[in-house]
């Protein structure tokens, strides 16, 4: 394979001139540009960006760790990260992990090996302690409340917004409030569960294990919740759902179970996906696209930063 | 920065031994492993995958060109590509183009510069003629019927499945059939529009420009279609929708417009997204996840290949 030196020799110009031609530098004499282009055509010289990256120590690639892509929560985040990245000439490398620690470790190793310049971790299984060991290799940004971790992060205060949503249901007269979460071991889920327990205590309400439904993330989980609630002697009169997908699934399946929304079951969703707007579902609006843009912005900074994103309850027809 | 040669010198071993240690080769004496690890720790040596990629001429990255991520059609495709890629130790680089030719060209240039080993083009604006010029640099795979193009592709026969869906509506007694598409200049949209025109001719039905709604892709476009149809003196009695998102948007907004589905308007969606199953929408099932896996498989082959994926009408409640 021809090298840049070969091109320079054949074209009768300096290596610096070849480099300027390759980078479309404006101040190169026309004859020299032509000579270089001729030499490139003759030798079949191919520039290799890995050589450039090696020299620059930079790839303009940002890694994104997330469990799945085909859920609006994550696809909206990606869309936001990708939009911000594009305006800085960065591309995304997806590490779709399915919450397998091995896959998450692979992303961290790729940061170490400089396949990517920085890493955004949207959701994780690997401990913060392990992740922190990799921060010497590039900026790592989390989408969660990382507390005192020496990593950058952007977060939504899941505890407070869950508290506020519960208070909203309580103010509307609900005393039997159920809730659904996805996995139990994530940072966000832990904050939500804590809020639920604290709220019940604060209001002197009893805790019913059967009002809590786990592993809920998709439309079809909405029907699973209804099926479960319909078998209970005493059903909750309201539900805080993991995601608008779950909330929409409940609204769709409700007629099948003879349950009127909100008369028999009030629902507050989460995220404000397009489906929540279309179906008039009360929800907690999380600006996922903007959050994606913020996360990318944090990867560019050399300084550690922590951003809290304000969220608000959007009152619609399901409460 | 320390080089692999420095490590070898400090550890008192050969460069080949350092390389074996870095690659976790099983047959290296314990003392040598320790000496190399000590030298790495002392010098702060960092392996750079760009050097490895340069040497191998391979990055284990596959590029994916698509206009947007936050739509189930594309996010399901990515999910499928990503799953297949993971099992071959490949990662995805996203080129989210918003149908800007410049962004698509950037992806092609990155194939040329070996940032990626191969490229999957899920939807495009740049002409096939231009794309074909890049096939010397790596495998390019399209998700469309590429006809006689010397590129690999996987496709769904949009013409035939549109014809079959129209025949299904015709058999149910519909003579005034509307349809929605997204952009007009895509290969798939052209095939669909051709099928619509041919079907009307075949059955001797008149063509109504106002029965065709363009730029439809999202939930909210469903309401736009209803708004438009409700202003017509003579409304279509059935609609072939671009996407299940559009079909679901229509079902959701139908009560607001006093339109009963399917009595006043029968609907066939497209893709079989989870929302179509949840809302019992008749649709044309496109196995997007499997298609994503197929597309990735084609990038690995050295031979050009063309795959047609069978699709089927899934009869539900909206016709």
pLDDT tens digit sequence for A258-283: 999 999 999 999 999 999 999 999 99
B95 to chain A: closest CA residue:
A91
Q: Mean pLDDT score of chain A, rounded to an integer?
A: 92
User: DSSP secondary-structure letter at B202?
Assistant: H
The model's confidence at residue A43, banded by pLDDT at 50, 70 and 90, is: confident
Query: Strand, coil or helix: what is A73?
Result: helix
Q: Indicate which of A66, A70, A102, A218 best probes the interface with B, i.e. most B CBs within 10 Å of its own CB.
A: A70
Other C-beta atoms within 10 Å of B185: how many?
8
Closest by alpha carbon to B217, among B121, B99, B105, B94? B99
Measure B207 CA to nearest chain A CA, in Å.
31
User: Please, what are the domains in chain A?
Assistant: 4-47 (1.10.260.40), 59-156+289-309 (3.40.50.2300), 158-285 (3.40.50.2300)
- Residue B221 has phi, psi (to 5 degrees) of -70, -25
Rounded to 5°, angle at Cα A238 from A236 and A242: 110
CA distance B159 to B152: 20
Average pLDDT over residues B284-290: 96
Q: Residue B247: pLDDT above 80?
A: yes
Greatest CA separation found in chain B? 89
CA distance A228 to A220: 13
B294 or B5: which carries more pLDDT confidence? Answer: B294
Q: In this structure, what token pair is assigned to residue B95?
A: 């080129």
Q: State whether residue B83 sits within 8 Å of chain A by CB.
A: yes
Number of helical H runs and strand E runs in chain B: 13, 12
Residue A1 confidence (pLDDT): 61
A107 to chain B: closest CA residue:
B91
Measure B188 CA to nearest chain A CA, in Å.
22
Residue B64 confidence (pLDDT): 98
Scanning the structure block, which residue is given the tokens 């895509």? Answer: B186
Measure B277 CA to nearest chain A CA, in Å.
9
Q: Indicate which of A50, A115, A117 best probes the interface with B, i.e. most B CBs within 10 Å of its own CB.
A: A50
Residues of B in contact with A59 (CB under 8 A): 50, 115
Measure B196 CA to nearest chain A CA, in Å.
29
List Cβ neighbours of B134 (8 Å cut-off, separation of 6 or more).
B108, B111, B112, B119, B140
Residues of A in contact with B291 (CB under 8 A): none
Cβ-Cβ contacts under 8 Å between A and B: the total is 145
CA distance A14 to A7: 9
Residue B50 confidence (pLDDT): 81
Average pLDDT over residues A40-61: 81
List Cβ neighbours of B190 (8 Å cut-off, separation of 6 or more).
B184
Cβ neighbourhood burial of B2 (10 Å; 0-12, 13-18, 19+): middle
Q: With CB atoms and an 8 Å threshold, state whether B54 touches A59.
A: no
Contact A136, B44 (CB under 8 A): no
* Window 154-213 of A, Cβ < 8 Å to B: none
The model's confidence at residue B21, banded by pLDDT at 50, 70 and 90, is: confident
Residues of B in contact with A103 (CB under 8 A): 86
Q: With CB atoms and an 8 Å threshold, state whether B274 touches A95.
A: no
A84-129 pLDDT, tens per residue? 999 999 999 999 999 999 999 999 999 998 899 999 999 999 999 9
CA distance B222 to B253: 7
Q: With CB atoms and an 8 Å threshold, state whether B50 touches A114.
A: yes
**For chain B, how far is it from start to end, CA to CA, in angstroms?**
68
Residues of A in contact with B49 (CB under 8 A): 110, 113-115
Average pLDDT over residues B279-292: 96
Q: With CB atoms and an 8 Å threshold, state whether A91 touches B92.
A: no
């Amino acid at each position: 394979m021809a090298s840049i030196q070969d091109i320079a020799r054949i074209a009768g110009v300096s290596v610096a001139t070849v480099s300027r031609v390759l980078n479309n530098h404006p101040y190169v004499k026309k004859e020299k540009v032509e000579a270089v282009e001729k030499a490139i055509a003759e030798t079949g010289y191919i520039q290799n960006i890995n050589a450039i990256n090696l020299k620059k120590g930079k790839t303009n690639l940002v890694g994104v760790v997330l469990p799945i892509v085909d859920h609006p929560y994550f696809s909206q985040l990606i869309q936001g990260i990708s939009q911000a990245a594009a305006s800085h000439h960065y591309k995304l490398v997806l590490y779709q992990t399915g919450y397998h620690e091995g896959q998450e470790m692979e992303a961290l190793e790729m940061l170490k090996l400089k396949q990517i310049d920085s890493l955004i971790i949207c959701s994780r299984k690997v401990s913060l302690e392990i992740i922190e060991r990799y921060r010497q290799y590039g900026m790592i940004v989390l989408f969660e409340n990382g507390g005192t971790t020496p990593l950058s992060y952007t977060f939504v205060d899941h505890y407070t917004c869950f508290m506020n949503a519960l208070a909203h249901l309580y103010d509307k007269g609900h005393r039997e409030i159920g809730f659904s979460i996805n996995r139990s071991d994530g940072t966000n889920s832990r904050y939500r569960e804590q809020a639920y327990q604290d709220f019940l205590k604060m209001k002197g309400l009893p805790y019913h294990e059967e009002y809590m439904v786990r592993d809920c993330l998709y439309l079809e989980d909405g029907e699973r919740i209804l099926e479960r609630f319909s078998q209970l002697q005493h059903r909750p009169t309201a539900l805080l759902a993991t995601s608008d997908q779950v909330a929409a699934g409940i609204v769709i399946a409700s007629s099948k179970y003879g349950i009127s929304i909100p008369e028999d079951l009030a629902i507050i969703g989460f995220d404000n996906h397009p489906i929540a707007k279309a179906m008039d579902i009360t929800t907690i609006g999380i600006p996922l696209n903007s959050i994606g843009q913020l996360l990318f912005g944090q990867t560019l900074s050399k300084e550690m930063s922590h951003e809290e994103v304000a969220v608000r309850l959007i009152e619609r027809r399901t409460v």
